[in-house]
Amino acid sequence: MKISADDLFPYNFDNVLRDILEHKHTYYVFKGGRGSCKSSFVSIVIILLMTRKENRDKHCIIFRKIANTLRDSVFSQMQFAISALHLDGDFKCTVSPMKITYMPTGQTIMFRGVDDRMKLKSLKAPFGYFAFAWLEECDTFTGMEEVRSILQSSMRGGKDYWTFMSFNPPKTRHNFMNEEVLIQRDDRYVHSSDYRTVPKEWLGQQFFDDAEHLKQIRPEAYEHEYLGVPNGDGGNVFEYLEIRDITDEEISHMDRIFAGVDYGWYPDAFCYLRTYYDSTREKIYLIDELYVNKWSNSKTADWIKKKGYDDYTMICDSAEPKSVNDFRDAGLPARGAIKGPGSIEYGFKFLQTKTIVIDPKRTPNAYKEITEYEYDRDKEGNVISGYPDGDDHAISALRYAYEPLFNRRGYSA
């Protein structure tokens, strides 16, 4: 039976389909908004590749962040692809274990959640190797380091590989996948799509009506949800950011230094953050950081002194008075933060009114925390008031550093 590509996916996938079948790239990234058909396309392409005669020793592994989401998403999606290609009689689908087998050859499609990392280390194909990998909703992974770790576990023992990554771009431009797709790589093809190229009968008239309604009443939400544009309105706590190189020449003229310390051991990190405040322009510059696990107080104190950072007072987390005393005994000008009702909220408001200049090379962990720090949302997607707790060690150090300033009369948040 011959099936036209036009019956399977929108026309704007034609070029990437030819590229995949000719294997011109190794990595294929599909980003788009609701109803863009990217997941349908990837699932169908995987079946097309597996059933080619030259690929009979090649298997597929499909990943999602959480294991219990596999069955109702990618597993069902692969069943859809098999039916769309009229190959139901050639594939056997089982739930326990969750696996799809191509009966003529014994090739398999396996499914794994990344929340159980130990199971990823034991990945092994029944024969041949995993040539095809699909990371669905890969923006939900913790970052490119985790993505690389996943692929290192699966891309072994073979010559040719096709790796597919699909996601709806998060609203914030600073999500790691939104930033990753901007990096040029010769072995990667990035494809963008949205519902406007999809035949109306595939999605239903109501889908298009809902999209048009949202476009009229909330154009920014429409742009993000339906067109997949990371337009920056992602509930970011810190909106005024200047991401650029900070030169040594600039730092040589900085004389209003504010430093903060958030104590931690493991899994929480210790963070020392050194900054400069330009009061005229209301800009905070992040100069340097120490962001480590399992370092003793004496070791972190030695690092600070060797860097010559014992020249200005550092405000430390007062929840650990013994650690503050350890720093003072080591000769550091350290003192505990003065906490009280509303101090956290007021500190955040002070920082939110300033422009924060960040050089990712100088303070990579502070950069990651600050750019990805967003308000929590309820199940309806509405922003919840209050500041999220967790993964905020550099942010806490920054808040402690400026506590003497925002607590001083005359300074207002």
> What amino acid positions are annotated as catalytic residues?
137
Whether residue 238 contacts residue 373, with contact meaning beta carbons closer than 8 Å, is answered with: yes
> DSSP labels for 19-40?
HHHTT--SEEEEEE-TT--HHH
Q: What is residue 235's DSSP assignment? A: -
Whether residue 334 contacts residue 345, with contact meaning beta carbons closer than 8 Å, is answered with: no
CA–CA dist 109, 97 (Å, integer): 11
Strand partners, 95: 98
Burial of 128 (0-12, 13-18, 19+ CB in 10 A): middle
Burial state string for 366-405 with b = 16 or more CB within 10 A and e = fewer than 16: bbbbbbbbbeeeeeeeeeeeebeeeebbbbbbbbbbbbeb
CA-to-CA separations, 218 to 190, 215, 223, 228, in angstroms, rounded: 28, 6, 9, 15
CB neighbourhood size of 278 (10 A): 14
Whether residue 270 contacts residue 295, with contact meaning beta carbons closer than 8 Å, is answered with: yes
Burial state string for 49-59 with b = 16 or more CB within 10 A and e = fewer than 16: bbbeeebeebb
The answer to whether the bond into 97 is cis (omega within 30° of 0) is yes
Whether residue 143 contacts residue 176, with contact meaning beta carbons closer than 8 Å, is answered with: yes
CA–CA dist 405, 413 (Å, integer): 10
| Crossing angle (nearest 10°) for helices 364-372 and 393-401 | 100
3-state SS assignment for residue 225: helix
Whether residue 290 contacts residue 296, with contact meaning beta carbons closer than 8 Å, is answered with: no
